[in-house]
Amino acid sequence: MDAGKSEKVFKALDMFRIELPSWGFANTGTRFGKFIQPAAATTTEEKFSDAGQVHHLTGVCPTIALHVLWDCPDSIRNADEIKKFADRYGVLPGSMNPNLFQDQEYKYGSFGNPDGAIRERALQHTKDSIEVARRLHSRDVSMWFADGSNYPGTANIRQRKQWFAECLKEAHSKLSPEQRILVEYKPFEPAFYHTDIADWGMALLLARAAGPQAKVLVDTGHHYAAQNIEQIVAWLLSENMLGGFHFNDRRYADDDLTMGSIDPYQVFRIFHEIRYFETETGNTADIAYMVDQSHNLKGKIEAMIQTVTMAQQLFAKAALVDERDLATAQKNCDLIRAESLLQDAFATDVRPAIQAWRESKGLPKDPMEAFRQSGYLGRITEERAARNAGNVSSYA
C-alpha cells in the first residue's frame, strides 16, 4: 500500500469509534434456553471489566451500552456505582437502553398496550432511563420495542401508532439539550403478524413526531433478506435522521452473528455511503456506531475483539474509495469505472496499515493474540465458573 493510501487509513482510524454492548459479555441464548460459558460476565462490574479489556487492546471502544433493567436494576441509585466502574475499568457509560419487553405486563405491548396504566408504566420507565442517562452523561437513549400482534384483527394498528407518537413525544420532552432518542425498528419477532415499528419509514415518522432530538437507529439484522440497507442509509442521511447503528451480521433473520462474518461487503458499502455523504456535503455525519451481538457459541470477549478489528478493516477500506473520481464516473454513467472503485477499495489488504496505526498508538499489533497471551481469560474463568455453573438451568 502506498503512502497516500496509508495516510487515508490512519486518518479514518483516528476518527473511528464503536460502542460495545454490556449484554454481549453475559450469558445469552435462544428462545429455547441460555448457553452458559464459564467466563461470561454475571455482574455489571464484570461487564465493565471485560469491555475495558477490549478497549485496552483495540483503543476504539471507549463506551459501553447499558441495558437499564440488566445493568441498572435500582435505576437512578445505580448511577454513582456505575461511575465508579467507569473510572476503574477505563470505559464510559454509553447509550442507555430501556427495557420495555421483559416484564409480564408487556405481554400485549408497552407504548402500544391497550391498557393505559401499562402504557404509563412503560413511559415512566423510559423517563427514568433518560434521567439515569443524564446523570451518567450518556447522550443516546436507544428505544427498541417488541410491540405488535400475532393474529389479524387482534390489534387496532392505527390507534397503537397514535399511542406510540404520544408516548415518544412525552419522553422527548424529558431530554436534556444534549441528549437524543434513537428509534429502532424491526420487521418481525417476537410479533409475527404486525410489528408497531416495522421499518425505517415508520421509525422516521415516529422520530419526527417525537421531536427534533429524535433520530432513527438502524440495526443491520432488522431487515428482510436482500433489503438494500445502504439505500436506507442514504435516504436517512439526506433527511438528517440517521442517528445510530447496531452492527451485527445474519444469514436468515436477526441472527446477531459477528460483524462481517456473512457479508462484509455490505458493511463496507454502508460505511462508504456515510463517507460519500460527508465528502459531498462537507458535514460530519453524527452517527453512533454500536455493536449489538449475542455470542452464544464463541467466547464473549474474543468475539468482541474479532468484531471490532473487522469493523476497523471495513471502515478503513471505505476510506480508500476515491469519492471525487466516483462522482465523475457516476455523472458520466461510466458503470464499470464506478463499480470498480468500490471493488478495488474492498479488495485492498488494509491490515498492514492498521497494524502500523496500532503501533503508532502504543497498541498491540494483534489484539486477539495479545488477549490470548494476557492471562485475563484464564483468571476470569476461574473466578466466574462456579457462579455460571449455577445458572445452567436458566432460560433465555
Q: How confident is the model at residue 393 (pLDDT cuts 50, 70, 90)?
A: very low
Output the pLDDT for position 77: 61
- Mean pLDDT, residues 58-75: 90
Is position 45 within any domain? yes
* pTM, 2 dp: 0.96
Number of domains comprising the chain: 1
CA distance 361 to 57: 11
Output the pLDDT for position 73: 74
Q: Which residues pair with 244 in a beta bridge?
A: 217, 288
DSSP string, 288-315: EEEE----SSS-HHHHHHHHHHHHHHHH
Output the pLDDT for position 78: 77
Other Cβ atoms less than 10 A from the Cβ of 241: the count is: 17
Range of the domain at 254: 15-389
Say yes or no to pLDDT of 84 above 70.
yes
Output the pLDDT for position 76: 59
> What is the per-residue pLDDT across 213-229, written as a single tens digit (0 to 9) for each?
999 999 999 999 999 99
> What is the per-residue pLDDT across 98-124, written as a single tens digit (0 to 9) for each?
999 999 999 999 999 999 999 999 999
Output the pLDDT for position 80: 87
CATH number at residue 250: 3.20.20.150
Is position 257 within any domain? yes
Output the pLDDT for position 395: 35
CA distance 369 to 271: 27
Say yes or no to pLDDT of 358 above 70.
yes
Is position 160 within any domain? yes
Q: What is the mean pLDDT of the chain?
A: 95
The enclosing H or E element of 324 equals helix 323-331
SS3 letters across 10-48? HHHHHHCCCEEEHHHHECEEECCEEECCCCCECCHHHHH
Share of the chain above pLDDT 90, in %: 92
Is position 6 within any domain? no
Say yes or no to pLDDT of 249 above 60.
yes
Q: How confident is the model at residue 90 (pLDDT cuts 50, 70, 90)?
A: very high
Output the pLDDT for position 87: 97
Q: How confident is the model at residue 35 (pLDDT cuts 50, 70, 90)?
A: confident
Is position 1 within any domain? no
Q: How confident is the model at residue 392 (pLDDT cuts 50, 70, 90)?
A: low
- Mean pLDDT, residues 190-197: 97
- Mean pLDDT, residues 374-393: 90
Strand 92-97 relative to strand 63-67, pairing: parallel
> What is the per-residue pLDDT across 255-294, written as a single tens digit (0 to 9) for each?
999 999 999 999 999 999 999 999 999 999 999 999 999 8
Is position 396 within any domain? no
Q: How confident is the model at residue 75 (pLDDT cuts 50, 70, 90)?
A: low
Is position 395 within any domain? no
Is position 5 within any domain? no
Q: Which long-range contacts (CB under 8 A, 24 or more apart) does 303-306 make?
A: 303/24, 303/258, 304/20, 304/24, 304/25, 304/50, 304/51, 304/54, 304/61, 305/54, 305/57, 305/58, 305/367, 305/368, 305/371, 306/258, 306/368
